[in-house]
């Protein structure tokens, strides 16, 4: 360790395009401060690569404050790295020590194909949302004020907890089956628990689960890894709720 | 998976209870074994349902495993799966296949000879040459060989690991999850996963030691 910070060996997935096979490449980075976020360390690595005349590593990032869900790195064998309840931008280099070797890989899922380096295509989540992750509200100007509808506090809290899902895809990345059940169940729950969402509840759960399967995500086997790695602490309660909703809708729906 | 799993949980409890009679009262074990082996409802209704339940659970498990493997065609170079999930939950296919292999031994020991005696030879009496019920003697005879007893013990260890995840996972799959009851289900599942296989092991060791 130098007086300016840590020296690290990075094993980074490089892939030119979605057609490329890709491989792990090894880079040495110097002077990494323990106060840096992981993404700042990645910025430093890229500066060093650019200075050396090499192509920088492509990775997703946006808000850098843990709410956008863009940063999607599988770090040393865990989604968003070794810390809990954080996204990659909230992971700090103090979680590592001088001389460490760090593996940095993209989310791995058939439904999340790699676009370039560490960037994956997560539009499968968008298509699932398009299949039913909404309520149909007539916005003609006379819509009832939502605050005038009484909602039990517990339901409101559970709906809000589910709505904190940022759609980062860590659940898929960490699940041994690459299942998207935690994401989809959170999006089903945030609406199913509220009066406005109950109207389309049956179609919603059937359509969203149908789209989830069509995207190629795996099936849930209740390992619970998703809940552990989720940066927002989305609970497995949501998966159980979605299972109930799905079974009920499958039996009673006209479709 | 969950529904067939629930059915098999009930079957295991019933199987272990009947087997335990061989430890506490051989005569009752003989009577119950004869009833189970000759009652038409058990033989021609419950047994086919059980066979269907086992095959369905097995088939769905293997299908699920292959489908899920296809969902991640490129594996991670570095993966720390143990950091966020138990070994049992991640390896149900391994413990399941070990139980399947045990079925081979179990059927060779008990089910095929029973089918042979009853439906090929045509002897439905359940009696041995001495005119007494043969079930208890046959059971005891099987547990003389230490290799067989060892294989049984190892097999039930895998069954235990399978149940440690399978019991509470089945409840989650059917959507039964509740702040009050889920912790109880998890404890009950752990108790079941230890007690039932331990019961089978105890029965095997009891007859091995007392032969």
Cα–Cα distance, A88 to A73 (Å, whole number): 7
Confidence of residue A201 (pLDDT cuts 50, 70, 90): very high
Report percent pLDDT > 90 for chain A: 91
At A105, phi and psi to the nearest 5? -130, 160
Radius of gyration of chain A (CA): 21
Q: Do B90 and A223 touch (CB under 8 A)?
A: yes
Is a pLDDT exceeding 80 seen at residue A1? no
Mean predicted confidence (pLDDT) in B188-209: 97
Q: How far is B193 from chain A (nearest CA, A)?
A: 17
Q: Encoding tokens for residue A1?
A: 């360790």
Mean predicted confidence (pLDDT) in B64-79: 97
Per-residue model confidence (pLDDT) at position A89: 97
Per-residue model confidence (pLDDT) at position A2: 67
Q: Do A24 and B177 touch (CB under 8 A)?
A: no
Q: Closest by alpha carbon to B89, among B80, B79, B81, B101?
A: B81
Q: How far is B165 from chain A (nearest CA, A)?
A: 8
Report percent pLDDT > 70 for chain B: 100
Q: Do A110 and B70 touch (CB under 8 A)?
A: yes
A60 interface with B at CB cutoff 8 Å: no
Cα–Cα distance, A170 to A107 (Å, whole number): 8
Residue B200: CB atoms within 10 A of its CB come to 21
Q: Encoding tokens for residue A74?
A: 């599988």
Q: How far is A174 from chain B (nearest CA, A)?
A: 8
Burial class (CB in 10 A: 0-12, 13-18, 19+), A232: buried
Q: Do A237 and B68 touch (CB under 8 A)?
A: no
The answer to whether the CB of B9 falls within 8 A of the CB of B167 is yes
Is a pLDDT exceeding 70 seen at residue A190? yes
Per-residue model confidence (pLDDT) at position A147: 83
Report CA A12 to chain centroid distance, whole Å: 20
Residue A104: CB atoms within 10 A of its CB come to 26
- Cβ neighbours of B78 in A, within 8 Å: 11, 76-77, 103, 105
- pLDDT, chain B, mean: 95
A22: left (phi over 0), alpha (psi -120 to 50) or beta: left
At B88, phi and psi to the nearest 5? -60, -45
> Hunting for tokens 């989650």 — which residue is that?
B172
Confidence of residue A140 (pLDDT cuts 50, 70, 90): confident
> Hunting for tokens 């110097």 — which residue is that?
A30
- pLDDT, chain A, mean: 95
- Cβ neighbours of A239 in B, within 8 Å: 172
Per-residue model confidence (pLDDT) at position B185: 98
Give the dihedral sign, CA A187/A193/A196/A198: positive
Is a pLDDT exceeding 80 seen at residue B157? yes
Per-residue model confidence (pLDDT) at position A188: 98
What domains can you pick out in chain A, each with its CATH number? 6-116 (3.10.20.30), 123-252 (1.10.1060.10)
Confidence of residue B154 (pLDDT cuts 50, 70, 90): very high
Per-residue model confidence (pLDDT) at position A137: 82
User: Could you report the per-residue pLDDT of A25-55, keeping only the tens digit for each?
Assistant: 999 999 999 999 999 999 999 999 999 999 9
User: Could you report the per-residue pLDDT of B115-143, keeping only the tens digit for each?
Assistant: 888 888 888 888 887 888 889 999 999 99
Buried b (16+ CB within 10 A) or exposed e, A75-93: bbbbbbbebeebbbbbbbb
The answer to whether the CB of A32 falls within 8 A of the CB of A6 is yes
Measure the CA dihedral B183/B184/B188/B191, to 10°. Answer: 70
Residue A191: CB atoms within 10 A of its CB come to 23
Burial class (CB in 10 A: 0-12, 13-18, 19+), B95: buried
Per-residue model confidence (pLDDT) at position B119: 85
User: Could you report the per-residue pLDDT of B164-180, keeping only the tens digit for each?
Assistant: 999 999 999 999 999 99
Mean predicted confidence (pLDDT) in B33-59: 95
Q: What is the three-class DSSP state of B55?
A: helix
Q: Do B72 and A178 touch (CB under 8 A)?
A: yes
Report CA A155 to chain centroid distance, whole Å: 24
């Amino acid at each position: 360790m130098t007086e300016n910070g840590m020296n690290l060996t990075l094993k980074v997935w490089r892939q030119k395009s979605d057609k490329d096979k890709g491989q792990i490449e090894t880079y040495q980075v110097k002077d990494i401060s323990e106060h840096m976020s992981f993404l700042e360390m990645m910025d430093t690595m890229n500066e060093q690569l650019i200075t050396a005349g090499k192509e920088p590593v492509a990775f997703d990032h946006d808000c850098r404050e843990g709410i956008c869900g863009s940063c999607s790195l599988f770090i040393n064998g865990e989604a968003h790295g070794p810390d809990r309840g954080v996204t990659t931008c909230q992971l700090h280099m103090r979680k590592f020590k001088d001389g460490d070797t760090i593996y940095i890989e993209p989310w791995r899922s058939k439904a999340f194909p790699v676009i370039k380096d560490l960037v994956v295509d997560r539009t499968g989540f968008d298509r699932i949302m398009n299949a039913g992750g909404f309520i149909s509200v007539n916005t003609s100007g006379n819509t009832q004020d939502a605050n005038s509808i009484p909602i039990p506090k517990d339901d409101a809290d559970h709906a809000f907890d589910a709505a904190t899902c940022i759609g980062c895809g860590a659940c898929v990345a960490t699940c041994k089956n690459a299942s998207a059940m935690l994401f989809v169940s959170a999006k089903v729950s945030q609406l199913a628990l509220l009066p406005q969402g109950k109207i389309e509840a049956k179609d919603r759960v059937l359509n969203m689960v149908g789209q989830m399967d069509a995207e190629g995500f795996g099936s849930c086997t209740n390992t619970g890894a998703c809940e552990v790695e989720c940066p927002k602490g989305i609970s497995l309660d949501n998966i159980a709720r979605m299972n109930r909703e799905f079974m009920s809708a499958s039996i009673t729906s006209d479709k | 998976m969950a529904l067939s799993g629930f059915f098999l949980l009930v079957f295991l409890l019933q199987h272990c209870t009947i087997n335990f009679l061989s430890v506490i009262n051989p005569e009752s074990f003989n009577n119950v074994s004869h009833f189970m082996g000759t009652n038409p409802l058990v033989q021609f209704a419950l047994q086919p349902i059980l066979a269907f339940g086992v095959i369905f659970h097995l088939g769905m498990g293997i299908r699920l495993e292959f489908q899920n493997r296809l969902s991640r065609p490129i594996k991670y170079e570095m993966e720390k799966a143990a950091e966020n999930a138990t070994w049992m939950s991640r390896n149900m296919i391994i413990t399941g296949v070990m139980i399947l292999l045990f079925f081979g031994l179990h059927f060779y020991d008990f089910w095929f000879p029973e089918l042979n005696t009853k439906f090929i030879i045509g002897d439905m009496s359940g009696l041995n040459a001495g005119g007494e019920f043969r079930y208890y003697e046959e059971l005891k005879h099987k547990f003389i060989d230490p290799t067989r007893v060892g294989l049984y013990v190892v097999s039930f260890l895998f069954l235990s690991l399978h149940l440690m995840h399978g019991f509470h996972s089945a409840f989650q799959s059917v959507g039964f999850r509740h702040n009050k009851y889920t912790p109880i289900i998890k404890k009950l599942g752990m108790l079941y996963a230890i007690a039932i296989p331990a019961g089978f092991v105890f029965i095997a060791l009891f007859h091995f030691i007392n032969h």
